[in-house]
């Protein structure tokens, strides 16, 4: 696997604050910034239709890195008081061999997903004890409102010829994050969101669960994150020839990363 240039990585460090933000200091009115690069080892399940040609997509987790050619993933979150905002960036390029009516073919995909939104701490229930930073442990519930921009490109090379198709679109999304300080060092998080509500041709849903181990570091905080994530997308489009482009693929698998909070 090769990674893109560092400038893209910096732009891509964007939703593991949605996957592991850390309270570095007490004080509800302090600005906090969390930068979280991560690696998402995804399985791919579903199908792609290009110019009337149907190609199944099946990349198990055990083969994820074999088929992955390049990836950049990360999250940035900014918080002050009860309000927060985040941006999550994911780019992945894959390549796999498929079978079409018994004939060998090659399917290449490029997927870029940028999600962003606002969070509001609607529920903040104190728990007994304090975190390693001296803050009151708590149970938190935060609604999410935002958008997800997706850009896809699929290339299918068969003995009958090659074809490719790309598309990009934006979904408004609604979601919910639930988080709790399990111990002074450990935080547990669950998050779910859905996009393209009411549009049968553009639908998406995402969920993740995460455990984070937090510790002070260099005047801020560091968090080691481990969890599982799923992103399911269904997009359909007809071009001027009447040919259909259908992307119905789910990406899911373990995610591991690091969060730095200042």
pLDDT digits (tens, 9 = 90+) for 179-196: 999 999 999 999 999 987
> At 170, which helix (H) or strand (E)?
strand 161-181
Residue 101 belongs to a domain? yes
Please report whether residue 97 resides in a domain. yes
- The verdict on residue 1 lying in a domain is no
Grade residue 26 by pLDDT with cuts at 50, 70 and 90: very low
Low-confidence winner among 66-75, 83-92, 168-177, 249-258 (lowest mean pLDDT) = 66-75
> Nearest to residue 90, comparing CAs of 72, 103, 107?
72
Domain boundaries, position 87: 6-261
CA atoms within 13 A on the CB side of 36: 33
Higher pLDDT, 217 or 226: 226
pLDDT confidence band for 15 (50 / 70 / 90)? very low
Euclidean distance between CA atoms 138 and 179, whole angstroms: 8
List, in order, residues 6 or more apart from 9 with CB less than 8 Å away.
Answer: 3, 37, 72, 74
Confirm whether 33 is domain-assigned: yes
Query: Alpha helix (H) ranges present in the chain?
Result: 6-12, 64-67
Residue 121 or residue 25, greater confidence: 121
Domain count, the chain: 1
Alpha-carbon gap, residue 49 to 226, rounded angstroms:
34
Please return the burial class of 46, using the count of CB atoms within 10 Å of its CB with bins 0-12, 13-18 and 19+.
Answer: middle
pLDDT score recorded for residue 99:
57
pLDDT band at 71 (very low <50, low <70, confident <90, very high): confident
Q: To 5 degrees, how large is the angle CA 23–CA 208–CA 216? A: 20
Mean pLDDT (the chain, rounded): 80
Q: What is the per-residue pLDDT for 232? A: 92
Q: What is the CATH number of the domain that holds 82?
A: 2.40.128
pLDDT at 18 over 50: no
Q: What is d(CA 175, CA 218) in angstroms, rounded to the nearest whole number? A: 33
**Global confidence as pTM:** 0.78
Band of residue 46 on the pLDDT scale cut at 50, 70, 90: confident
Residue 40 has pLDDT above 80, yes or no: yes
Q: Given pLDDT bands bounded at 50, 70 and 90, which one contains residue 75?
A: very high
- The residue whose two tokens read 């260099």 is 218
Q: Can you give the pLDDT at residue 152?
A: 83
Give yes or no for residue 256 having a pLDDT over 90. Answer: yes
């Amino acid at each position: 696997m090769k990674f893109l240039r560092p400038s893209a990585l910096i732009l891509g460090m964007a939703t593991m604050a949605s996957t592991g933000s850390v309270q570095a200091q007490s004080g509800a009115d302090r600005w906090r910034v969390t930068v979280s690069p991560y690696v998402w080892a995804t399985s791919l399940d579903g199908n792609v239709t290009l110019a009337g040609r149907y190609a199944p997509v099946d990349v198990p987790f055990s083969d994820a890195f074999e088929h992955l050619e390049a990836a950049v993933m990360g999250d940035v979150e900014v918080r002050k008081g009860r309000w927060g905002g985040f941006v999550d960036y994911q780019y992945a390029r894959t390549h796999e061999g498929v079978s079409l009516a018994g004939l060998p073919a090659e399917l290449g995909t490029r997927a870029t997903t940028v999600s962003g939104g606002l969070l509001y701490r609607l529920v903040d229930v104190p728990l007994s004890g304090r975190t390693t930073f001296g803050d009151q442990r708590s149970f938190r519930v935060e609604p999410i409102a935002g958008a997800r921009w997706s850009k896809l490109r699929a290339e299918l090379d068969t003995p009958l010829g090659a074809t490719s198709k790309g598309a990009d679109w934006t979904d408004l999304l609604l979601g919910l994050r639930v988080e709790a300080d399990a111990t002074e060092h450990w935080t547990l998080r669950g998050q779910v969101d859905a996009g393209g509500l009411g549009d049968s041709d553009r639908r998406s849903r995402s969920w993740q669960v995460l455990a984070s181990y937090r510790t002070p570091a260099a005047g801020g905080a560091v968090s080691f994150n481990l969890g599982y994530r799923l992103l399911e997308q269904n997009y359909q489009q007809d071009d001027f020839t009447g040919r259909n482009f259908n992307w119905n693929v789910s990406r899911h698998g373990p995610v591991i990363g690091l969060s730095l909070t200042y």
